[in-house]
Every structure is written in structure tokens, then in C-alpha cells.
Amino acid sequence: MKVFSKEKFLSLPKQQQHKKACELVRVLYDSILADKEYEGLGGEYDAMASWLGEESLKEFTLEAIADRYHYHCKKGQVYHKEHNLLPRVRTGDADVVSSPALPIAIYLENIRSAHNVGSIIRTVEAMGLGSIHFSSETAFTDNKQVKDTAMGAESWVECHRDVSIEDLPRPLIAVETAEDAIPLNSFVFPETFTLAVGNEEYGCSDAFLKAADYVIYIPQYGRKNSLNVANAFAVVAGEITRQKRTML
């Protein structure tokens, strides 16, 4: 990273100064997270903070550095999507799974957002919900944003790309706000099945709904009649886990 002299730094507009501080703090955070030498970076930041008229960091903890990072981002008007935030401290990942994956297939049909796909992969892995089957129009695990959002979970889930409806295990269950759909809290999930979530705009395709054996929906009590697809999947995944894991 480029090192600035005091004169050069102070010649920048104030907003740009905070952007440079933001960049330095990010490198400092990543270094500590990776257990690398950071004292030199800490000294550089303290000097930069003094030029900005800010207090130096009293302690180089991840929490303190993260707070300072977001402070400079705000002052520098640097805005991030979720997958570009500081890496989360990962202290609780297990070396082995606590229970085998359930014999369930998850079908992601025409989901446009790679971020949503990555979020669903994380939920599938965390809940041990079996395999994921991707339609041809859904971003696969080799997509960078999918990988960034999944945070390594894609390595622990069995994934199949370009899967057609005909190749999915029966019965087929669609999550959809359709007429005659069964409320999630009234539905008893079979031993094995395929659960499908669809496109963010129009949901599951007509082809899947025609082939589906069951259509279920999430009861909602506010004004909106829809949830983000990754959030909706997490709600259904929680109910599947409640039913299936309590039976084991």
C-alpha cells in the first residue's frame, strides 16, 4: 500500500483523506485477522489519524479497528455491499459435522442474485439440508460473488449444475405465494423430497409449479406479501430442521 508523507496527505481533500485512512485500516484489520505482523501498519495509522485530528487507536483489537474502519468509510462516503464488508471473525467452525446431512434436494430455479445464492448455500450447509441443484440460469459455485457470500460453505455442500426439473427427486415442493398453497406451519415434510425456491421477481416457473406435488407458503402478518428469496429459504429451512432434527 502507498505510504503518504504528511504534506502529501494534507494536500488531499478531507473526504479523500478519510478514504485513504479507510484503506489503511482495512489492511491493518486483514493483517491482524491473518495473524501477520501489524505494528508498522499501526504506527502508520496513528500518524494518519493525528494528521486528520483524530485520536490514535488505544488498542488494536478487531472490534476497535472495525469501528474505526466504518467511521472513516462514513466520513469518506465509502459504501459497501454486504459481501465487501470486513471479513467476519470465524472462531466457531467445526472440523466435523455434528449430524449427517438430511436426504433432501434443494433446487435453485433461475435465481438472479449471486448474493442470494451464496446466502442459501450457507444456510443449507449450516442446517445440513443435503444437496443443492442449480438450474441453468442460476449462478453456480464458481461465481466470485457466490463464493464470497457463501464464505467457504460451498466446499462442504454437494452441488449439481444445469439440473432440469425432470431429474429432481420426488416429491417436488415449491415455496410460492400461490392460490391453494399450504401454510408452512401446517405442512409435514416427507422423509425425502426436493424443495424449490425461484426467481426474485416471478418466483417458481410455471413449468415447476405444474410439476410440483405440493406448494407451500410462509404465513405473513405485515403489509408486504413477499420476502427476499434467501430470507424465505431460511424460514423454511428452520421449519424443516425443527421437524427433522427433533425426530433423529
pLDDT band of residue 153 (cuts 50, 70, 90) is very high
Region for residue 190 given its phi and psi (left: phi exceeds 0; alpha: psi -120 to 50; beta: otherwise): beta
| 186, part of any domain | yes
pLDDT of residue 83: 47
Do 46 and 134 belong together in one domain? no
Identity of the residue numbered 205: S
Region for residue 229 given its phi and psi (left: phi exceeds 0; alpha: psi -120 to 50; beta: otherwise): alpha
Is the pLDDT assigned to residue 84 strictly greater than 60? Answer: no
132 or 96, which is more confident: 132
The residue-averaged pLDDT of 51-57 equals 92
pLDDT of residue 98: 55
C-alpha 134/C-alpha 214 separation (Å) is: 20
| 209, part of any domain | yes
Do 236 and 148 belong together in one domain? yes
C-alpha 26/C-alpha 68 separation (Å) is: 10
Read off the pLDDT of residues 86-127 as tens digits, 9 standing for 90 and up. Answer: 665 554 555 555 578 899 999 999 999 999 999 999 999 999
Do 120 and 214 belong together in one domain? yes
pLDDT of residue 179: 84
14-33 vs 39-52: helix crossing angle, rounded to 10: 160
C-alpha 196/C-alpha 212 separation (Å) is: 9
Do 217 and 144 belong together in one domain? yes
**Share of residues in the chain with pLDDT > 90 (%):** 65
Read off the pLDDT of residues 180-235 as tens digits, 9 standing for 90 and up. Answer: 999 999 999 999 999 999 999 899 999 999 999 999 999 999 887 778 999 999 99
Do 199 and 140 belong together in one domain? yes
The CATH number of the domain holding residue 203 is: 3.40.1280.10
